[in-house]
Amino acid sequence: MSSTAVPGPVGRPRGRRLSAIFRRQGWQALLFIGPALLLLLVLIVYPTIRTVIYSFGNTNSRLEIVKWIGFDNYTRMFTRDKSFLNLEDFPPTGALVNNVKWMILYTSLSLLLGLLIAVLAARVRYEALMKSIVFVPMAIAATAVAIIWKFVYEPDPSLGSLNAFITSFGADPIAWYGRADTVNYALIFAYVWASTGFAMVVLSAALKGISEEVIEAARTDGASEWGIFRRIQLPLLSLPIAVVTVWLLVNVIKVFDLIYVMTGGGPGGSSEVIAVTMVDEFGNGEGGYAAAIAVVMMLLIIPIMAFNIRRFRSERVTG
Amino acid sequence: MAVAQATVRPRETPSARILGFISRTPVHLGLLIVAVIWLVPTVGLAVTSFRPRGDIQASSWWSSLTEWSFTLHNYREVLNTANMDSAFVNSIMITVPSTLLPLALAAAAAYAFSWISFPFRDTIFLLIVALMVVPVQMALVPLLIIFRDLGIANWFGGIWLAHTAFGLPLGIFLLRNFFITLPRDLIEAARVDGASNLRIFLKVVLPLSVPALASFGIFQFLWVWNDLLMAFIFIQNGDLLPMTVRINQMQTTYGGEWHLLSAGAFLLMIVPLAVFFALQRYFVQGLLAGSVK
């Protein structure tokens, strides 16, 4: 085998060589990618297509399609299913509305807290310890996070830390996850607590990548700490912030475990989100309707991920 | 960092140093509040998991810090009566193959995408990366039918395959990005010596890629260990349920039995925490690189 024909990572094989190289190596490539490709086709691509097909039908308990109903599952979702989307309430309610609430609050809070902690921790000697404390929840299961926070939110002030805290100021204890008006915020904050570490680690790594000399020069010129952050660090962080935002948004569209364990979508469906609704409908034997909900979920993820993948084609960032 | 360096600057006077400390007081205060918010929830549950059942109902967990009567009884009870011992074994049985399989298959595929030339190589690679947009929910119903038809719905086989498939796009993406950074001369030299692709993959590429393999391996391991949704759907046999599903069942059956729930939650956390503290560096690298999943 001549060494000039060795394919490289970036350079594509030049046109005329391609067939010769393929004869020598193509079948070997198939051995290497074959198993992965087979699993991806059988277990992701084919089921995805099947799910799209299912979404146009009604299924029986054995998950076989018994009737084709066109787009009815979709119209049902957006017009007739009050637990998915209820525009008659003001403000609107339902799983989709809750997901939007999650997307806005969870994403911005995780990002802001992550940035704040990264910036503050960089100014003290115990930075590594602080970052570990905030990062640890990233490693633990959302199921465990749900149990941890359910205990924090316990209505009885001698059990729940939060109610113990507020009652010490004379306030009445609040059933944080048992009330329709507080349950979503209680859940969102618990998940922010679990995810802030991710935002913090990525943004902290990016902050460290900013040249010390630039910051020193600005400081010598009399720039304030806030000015340095606002005019130098923040603009250079825009790309990692975009990465984190995409990750958080995709994560929150898929959010399931935490809500399922902590409230199961309750009380009275007030904390339902798309992923929980999908599993509930699936459990009710509504295979076609559950499939349609999954399709909507993917349609929400695609534009966000497309942004991310396009970026990865052009450049590699962070880390 | 910048400020930390500023404090050791020699021309700084003592008064400037005091001023610096005072001006940083808000920073310390802010970080103190952050530390309290991030520690209290976990510590509260941890303390509770070691308190006798009667005490938990009689007094708050923070008052127990002065009383000091702790026990391991809750852990014994949750392991024996709530079947958390078999659930722990099931979690391991699910997680180990669901980590090793995608690791092996992703590494092999990533090698071909990096160092073997074949038609449509980059297109196929991009299509695989694009599969990351597919949420698990998209495959639940059809996969359940496939596993039922294959007769593996009552066994670990189905969930191994599902986790493997959904781990592959990220794994191939991460490993390929690492493999292409290996020195080209090394691979060429091996080729000149007549080494086969399999040999180059096993003897040259894999040994040089341990950090990347570890990052993806840890990421996938924690992903599978912590997963509730897929285990909930794909494991139909009640004897094979992992800890996540069992804890969810427990809190429906034993509602306010905090002595069991807290101990169960901590058993679930032990393995990820051990992985985290032992391999923090690889874990953080994996998360930084894997921020697309």
Question: Are the beta carbons of B135 and A294 separated by less than 8 Å?
Answer: yes
CA A183, A187, A188, A189 dihedral sign is positive
Question: Are the beta carbons of A133 and B130 separated by less than 8 Å?
Answer: no
Question: Are the beta carbons of B292 and A212 separated by less than 8 Å?
Answer: no
* CB contacts, 8 Å: B49 with chain A: none
Question: Are the beta carbons of B168 and A205 separated by less than 8 Å?
Answer: no
* Predicted confidence (pLDDT) at residue A63 exceeds the cutoff of 90: no
Query: For A288-299, what is the mean pLDDT?
Result: 94
Tokens of A35: 């198993």
pLDDT range class, residue B37, cuts 50, 70, 90: very high
Query: For A164-183, what is the mean pLDDT?
Result: 90
Contact B206, B262 (CB under 8 A): no
pLDDT for B11: 56
A271 C-beta neighbours (distance < 10 Å), count: 25
pLDDT for A24: 65
Question: Are the beta carbons of B41 and A275 separated by less than 8 Å?
Answer: no
Q: Can you name the residues that pair with A57 across neighbouring β-strands?
A: A68
Optimal mutation site among A6, A117, A216, interface B, most CBs of chain B within 10 A: A6
Contact A199, A110 (CB under 8 A): yes
A303 C-beta neighbours (distance < 10 Å), count: 10
Query: pTM of the predicted model, to two decimals?
Result: 0.87
To the nearest whole number, what is the mean pLDDT of chain A?
86
Question: Are the beta carbons of B140 and A294 separated by less than 8 Å?
Answer: yes
* CB contacts, 8 Å: B163 with chain A: none
Q: Three-class SS string for chain A?
A: CCHHHCCCCCCCCCHHHHHHHHHHHHHHHHHHHHHHHHHHHHHHHHHHHHHHHHCCEEECCCCCEEEECCCHHHHHHHHHCCCCCECCCCCCECHHHHHHHHHHHHHHHHHHHHHHHHHHHCCCCCHHHHHHHHHHHHHCCHHHHHHHHHHHCCCCCCCCHHHHHHHCCCCCCCCCCCCCCCHHHHHHHHHHHHHHHHHHHHHHHHHHHCCHHHHHHHHHCCCCHHHHHHHHHHHHCHHHHHHHHHHHHHHHHCCCHHHHHHCCCCCCCCCCCHHHHHHHHHHCCCHHHHHHHHHHHHHHHHHHHHHHHHHHHHCCCCC
Out of A227-241, A300-314, B213-227, pick the least confident. A300-314
> Per-residue pLDDT tens for B105-122?
999 999 999 998 888 888
pLDDT for A5: 41
Tokens of A180: 């329709």
Residue of A nearest to B166 (CA): A44
The Cα–Cα gap between B187 and B195 comes to 9
* Predicted confidence (pLDDT) at residue B4 exceeds the cutoff of 70: no
pLDDT for B185: 87
- Select from B180, B151, B283 the least CA-distant residue to B225: B283
To the nearest whole number, what is the mean pLDDT of chain B?
86
Q: B21: alpha, beta or left, given left = phi > 0 and alpha = psi -120 to 50? A: alpha
Question: A3 and chain B: CB distance < 8 Å anywhere?
Answer: yes
A 206-265 residues with CB below 8 A of B? Answer: 208, 212, 215-216, 219, 243-244, 246-247, 253-254, 256-257, 260-261
- What type of residue is A30? L
Question: Are the beta carbons of A32 and B201 separated by less than 8 Å?
Answer: yes
Question: Are the beta carbons of B139 and A44 separated by less than 8 Å?
Answer: yes
pLDDT for A19: 52
pLDDT for A61: 76
A 46-85 residues with CB below 8 A of B? Answer: 46-48, 50-51, 54, 59, 63
* Predicted confidence (pLDDT) at residue B55 exceeds the cutoff of 90: no
pLDDT for B124: 93
Of B68 and A86, more confident: A86
* Predicted confidence (pLDDT) at residue B254 exceeds the cutoff of 80: no
A77 C-beta neighbours (distance < 10 Å), count: 24
Question: Are the beta carbons of B168 and A122 separated by less than 8 Å?
Answer: no
Optimal mutation site among A4, A30, A53, A136, interface B, most CBs of chain B within 10 A: A136
pLDDT for B245: 94
Indicate if ipTM > 0.90.
Answer: no
Of A117, A137, A202, which is closest to B34 when you measure between CB atoms?
A117
Residue of B nearest to A194 (CA): B38
Of B34, B44, B228, which is closest to A261 when you measure between CB atoms?
B228
- What type of residue is B181? T
- What type of residue is B167? G
